[in-house]
Structure 1
Amino acid sequence: MDSEAKAQARVGSVIDGRYQLTRLLGSGASGAVYDATHRYTNRRVALKLLHPELNDSREHVGRFLREVRAMSALTHPGVAAILDAGRTEEDVPYLVTEFLEGSDMAELMDDGPLAHPEVVDIGVQLLDALAAAHALNIVHRDVKPDNVFLVPRGTQTPQVKLLDFGVAKRLNTNSSVNLTAAGTTVGTPHYMSPEQARGDAVDHRSDLWSVGALLFHALSGEPPFDDPRTHRLLMRIATEAPPSLGALCPNVPIELVQIVDKALEVDVERRWQSAAEMANALALCGYTSFH
C-alpha cells in the first residue's frame, strides 16, 4: 500500500484522542492533510500528519517540526493560524491549523492568465505575509501557486494565505542541527531562484525571485522557464537570464513588467531588496486598495 492509500485508510480515525479525521484533503511526499473535527469543541480544522513510515527519518521529522515552529512564530492574517501541535499515540508529529475554504492559485491559473488587478492584489498580500516571515528571519523557500490560497471575503478581494512552511529556513540561528545539506536543492523547480537551483545559500531575496516567477506565470500563462527534464530546468534557471514579461505579454502595463523583471534578476543585488519594497511598488500600480 502506497503512502496515499495509507493516508486515505486513516480517515475516520482519531488523532491524539481529540481530532477525528473526516476527509483526506491531500497527500504529499512527507505528509497528509485532513479535514478534521475537534471531538470536544466540534471545531473544524485542518490537520497535517507526517507519514508514519517517515517517523524514523531525522530529516523528515526535523522539517515537520521546523514548519510547526515557523508557523507558531508567525501571527499574520496572510498565514494560516496554527491552533495546536503534538504527537500521536505512535509518536508521529502532527500540526493543526485553521480550516480554509477557497482555492489555490494553481486552480485559478488552470484557466489561463489572470487579470492584472487580480495578480497585483494577490502579489501585494503575498508579499505582506512574506515580509512578516522575513522579519523573523524565516525564508519560505517554496513559494508557488499551490501554496498561495485564496479565501473568499464576500464583496472584498479574497484573503491570501501563504501555506506550507515545510521547507522554510530560519536564518542566523545557532542550531547545531543542519537539516538541509550544502548543495541540496529544496523547493519546487519552476519557482526556484537561481541560487536555490544551484544548491547555494539563500536569503529572503530568494523568496522574492519566486514571487516574481509566480506573478510572471499568472500574467502570461506560463512560468519563466520550462523543461520536462528537471535537471535541464534547474540548469536553465541557474545559468540563463529569464525572458522579459513585456516581450511575451505586450499588453501588460510597463510598470508591472518592470516590477516582475526586477524580481527575476539573476543577481540578488539587482533584485528588490525586501518584500515591503516590492509590495509598495506593486501597490503603486494603481490596481489595488493597498496603495
Structure 2
Amino acid sequence: MSNAPESTARESRWIGRVVDERYRIVEVLGEGGMGAVFVAEHLRLRKQVAFKTIRAEFAAHTQAEARFEREALATGRLDHPHVASAIDYGPLPEGGFYLVTQLVRGESLSKRLEAGSLPWPQVCLLGSQIADALAAAHALGIVHRDLKPDNILLEHRRDGALHVRVVDFGIARVSGEQATIADVAQPLTRMGAVIGTPGYMPPEQGTGQQVDFRADLYALGAVLWESFTGQQLWQGDTLVELLTRQLGRAAPSLRADVPEAMAVMIERLLARAPAERPGSALEVRDELRRLVFGNEVSIPPGVPRALRSRLRCRAAQRALSCPRRAK
C-alpha cells in the first residue's frame, strides 16, 4: 500500500510542468494507486482541461494502458454535452501515458448521495441526462459497461441546476454494425471473465456472458433506484452472494411519493432478462422527461426551491407552446 503523504508529494511535483509543449499542470484534482488527475492549461487554446496520468510501472504490467486508450478512442468519438470527451492521448517521457479530457468541476453522484436521497423530479432530470448520454454512445455502437454513481459527475450551473457528465469509458465495448474502431472492440480480458462493478452489472455481465446496450440500461436502473433511496441496491460479501441476491430477489419497493410510472420504469430497467428491459436509452430518456415536464405532473414537498421554480416554468412554457383547441 502506498504512503499517502509520499503520494501527495510525488503528485505535487507535477505542478508547473509542461508536457508535450502544450499542457501546463496547474493543480492536483485527484490521485489513486496507478496515477493521478490534474487540472492543466492548454497553452495554445488558453483553456483548462483534465490531465489524467498512469505511471510507467502500472502501464507496463497491467491493462491500464489498454483502458486509457479505449477511453480515448471511445469518448473521442462522442461529442455530447453529457459526456466528458477525450481531447488528446499520448506517452509520457519517463514512461506511462496521459489522457486529456474535458474538465468537469463538480462532485460525483456517489458523493452527492452520501448526503441522502434525492427528490423524484431531480432523479428524473438527472436520469434523463444520463440516458441521453447513453443513447448517443449506443448510436455509435459504444456500450459503457461500467455505469455507476462514481462515473457520473454533477456540475453546478449558475442557475442552480445540476448538469450530468458521464465519464470513464475505460472498459467500454464497441459492438454492432457501427463498430469501426477495431482496437476498442477487442476484449480486455479472456472470454468468460467478469469485467465491471458488482452491484451495477446485470446478471448476464456478472456471469461473464456477452453483453449489449441493455447492460447499461440495467446499470441505469440501479443508479436511479439508489438515487431515490440513498442506499446501495445490491450488496454481498462476495460476487457470488451478490449475484445470488440479484437473481433471486426483486428490487425493494421505492418511496410512496415516487410516481407509479417511474417505479414501473425502474422495474423494467432492472429486469433479469435483457429482452424485458426497455428497447433503448432514448425510450428511457423520453419517459423520464415526460414524467417531469408533462402538464399533469405535481411537484411534491421537499423539492429545492430553485428546482421547483424551474419545473413550474418549464411546464408553463410547454403549455403555452401547445396549439389551442378550436372552439
Task: Give the TM-score normalised by the residue count of structure 1.
Answer: 0.89
2:282 maps to 1:276: yes
Contact 1:241/1:265 (8 A) holds in 2: no
Mark the CA change 1:8 to 1:147 in structure 2 (over 3 Å): closer, same or farther: farther
2:166 to 162, 167, 170: 162
The residue number in structure 1 matching 2:83 is 79
- Secondary structure of the structure 2 residue equivalent to 1:44: strand
Deviation at 1:228, TM superposition (A): 3.8
CA distance in 1, matches of 2:267, 2:96: 43
Residue matched to 1:180: 189
Q: Indicate if the aligned counterparts of 2:50 and 2:103 stay in contact, CA closer than 8 A.
A: yes
- Asked whether 1:263 is paired with 2:269, we answer yes
Deviation at 1:7, TM superposition (A): 6.9
Give the 3 Å change call, closer, same or farther, for CA 78–57 of structure 1 in structure 2.
same
User: Is 1:202 aligned to 2:211, yes or no?
Assistant: yes
* 1:222 Cα deviation after fit: 1.5
Task: Return 5+ residue gaps in structure 1 as ranges.
Answer: none
Pick from 142, 151, 157 the counterpart of residue 153 of structure 1.
Answer: 157
CA contact (8 A) 1:103 1:149 kept: yes
Q: Which residue, out of 230, 241, 253, partners 1:245?
A: 253
* 1:285 matches 2:294: no
Match of 1:37 in 2: 41
CA distance, structure 1, for counterparts of residue 32 and residue 289 of structure 2? 35
CA contact (8 A) 1:3 1:51 kept: no
Distance 2:77 2:100 in 1: 14
Q: What is the CA-CA distance between 1:256 and the residue it aligns to?
A: 0.8
Distance in 2, Cα, partners of 1:130 & 1:8:
38
Q: Please identify the structure whose Cα radius of gyration is greater.
A: 2
- Shift of the alpha carbon at 1:163? 0.7
What is residue 219 of structure 1 aligned with on the other side?
Answer: 228
Please state how far the C-alpha of 1:151 moved relative to its aligned partner: 1.4
Q: Distance between the aligned counterparts of 2:135 and 2:32, measured in 1?
A: 27
CA shift, 1:57, in A, is: 3.3
Specify the SS of the correspondent of 1:111: coil
Once residues 7 and 121 of structure 1 are traced to their aligned partners in structure 2, the CA distance between those partners, rounded to angstroms, is 37
Separation in 2 of the partners of 1:266 and 1:83? 37
Give the fraction of aligned pairs with identical amino acids, expressed as a percent.
Answer: 34
Q: Is the 8 A contact 1:8 1:24 kept in 2?
A: no
CA distance in structure 2 between the partners assigned to 1:30 and 1:70 by the alignment = 21
What is residue 105 of structure 2 aligned with on the other side?
A: 101
Asked whether 1:9 is paired with 2:22, we answer: no
Q: 1:185 to 1:8 in 2, by over 3 A?
A: farther
Q: Does 1:114 align with 2:123?
A: no
- Secondary structure, aligned partner of 1:26: strand
* Pairs aligned (count): 288
CA separation of 1:271 and 1:244: change in aligned 2, threshold 3 A: farther
Q: CA RMSD in A?
A: 2.4
